[in-house]
Structures are given as C-alpha cells and as structure tokens.
A and B are shown apart, each in its own frame.
Chain A
Amino acid sequence: RKEVEQDPGPFNVPEGATVAFNCTYSNSASQSFFWYRQDCRKEPKLLMSVYSSGNEDGRFTAQLNRASQYISLLIRDSKLSDSATYLCVVGREAGTALIFGKGTTLSVSS
C-alpha cells in the first residue's frame, strides 16, 4: 500500500464551482499533514498545513480525520488561477521527510 494515495482526477470544473479533493495515508502515527500546489513544470509550493481541528484560508478549507487516516481539501468559488495539481503530503512519523501523494489535477474553465 502506498504511503499517501489520492484520486489523480482530472477534475474539470467551471469558474465559481466548489470542488473537493481527498487523500488517505497509511501510517497512523504520522504527525504532520499538508496540501501543496504544483503548477506545470514547476516545483511544489505549500498551500496550507492541515490540522485536526480543520483550518481555513480564504476559499480553501482543509480537514484531517485521524481515525480514518483521511485528509481533504475544499476549494470554494474556483478561479481560473486555481488550475494546478494539488498534492497531499504527509510527514513521516520519525525524522523530517515529507512523503507526497501523486496529486490531483484541477482544471477550471470559464
């Protein structure tokens, strides 16, 4: 089983739509969780950290369910500029390394 699994999509949505991405991770002892955004042929960039209590940053909301080992990202009022690949990322229990999911591709059209 892969350490981090995501539905690769693609998700094709119109501007203004709400879209949700899901991710599962295999190691129940993992301590840190993130969503990264990666544009085509660019490096990944941190979108937001994910906390058990859930957190929101503008149009983006992230949730963590430790019992189910499940992470989600909700994007409201999608913009054309949201088109990218969204990577679910989990910090290893021991050490400092981050482990990436394959990513979910979002395409927002006008």
Chain B
Amino acid sequence: DAMVIQNPRYQVTQFGKPVTLSCSQTLNHNVMYWYQQKSSQAPKLLFHYYDKDFNNEADTPDNFQSRRPNTSFCFLDIRSPGLGDAAMYLCATSRDRNGYTFGSGTRLTVV
C-alpha cells in the first residue's frame, strides 16, 4: 500500500531531451518535496511546495522546475538534462513538520 508513489522507477533520457518525473500521494499531506541524491551523497533538497506555495532552494539550477497541479500530484521537470543530472530523485511528503514519507524514488540515467 504505497502512499507516496513515484513513476517510473527507472527513467532513461537523452542528453538535452526534456524529461518529467511524477509523484503522487494518498496521504493528503500539504507539503511535497523533491530531493536529488547522487551516488554516495546526501539527498539534496531541490524545492518543495507548501500547499500551493513554491519554495526553491537557492542553489537549485534553473534547469529544474516543478509543478503541483493539485494536492495529490507533484512533477519534476528537467528542461535539458545533462550527464551530471543522473541521480536518484526522491519525492517526499509531510503534514506540516510531521509524518515525513518518502517515495521509492526514480533513478534517472542520461545517455
């Protein structure tokens, strides 16, 4: 009974070709986050939505965008993926500061 669902689990995209990763949740949490985790590194917060309010991290490249059309869904758009964008992308949700829940992640390969 996955409550934070990320699709697909594995995504291969071409260098420079836009790609969208999706996250959905059944928890009715008001906050949704996107993290990027490269091999042997910490999960790095890219941005998050607090309700409809978008909060970008200062060091998140412009190449990364996000959309949250409703409470349940959040998308990560990479406009022009580079080889350095290959990573695990983790979606997480919370109800304010509580109940933090991660999805299983999408592993992105750029070829």
Contacts and interface: CB of A to CB of B under 8 A. Distances in A.
B42 A101 contact: yes
Q: A-side binding surface: helix, strand, loop or mixed?
A: loop
Contacts of B96: 96
B41 A102 contact: yes
Contacts of A42: 104-105
A99 interface: yes
Interface in A24-59: 32, 41-46
Contacts of B100: 46, 98
B100 to A, nearest CB: 6
B11 to A, nearest CB: 15
Contact of B104 (A43, A95, A101): A43
Interface size class of B (residues with CB under 8 A): 20 to 34
Nearest to A5: B42
B75 interface: no
B47 to A, nearest CB: 9
Nearest to A32: B97
A106 interface: no
Candidate in A41, A43, A44, A101 with the most chain B CB atoms within 10 angstroms: A43
B43 A44 contact: yes
Interface of B: 31, 33, 35, 40-45, 48, 50, 55, 88, 90, 92, 94, 96-97, 100, 102-105, 107
Given A95-B50, A100-B44, 13 more contacts: A8-B40, A32-B97, A43-B103, A43-B104, A43-B105, A44-B90, A44-B102, A96-B31, A97-B33, A97-B45, A97-B48, A100-B43, A102-B41
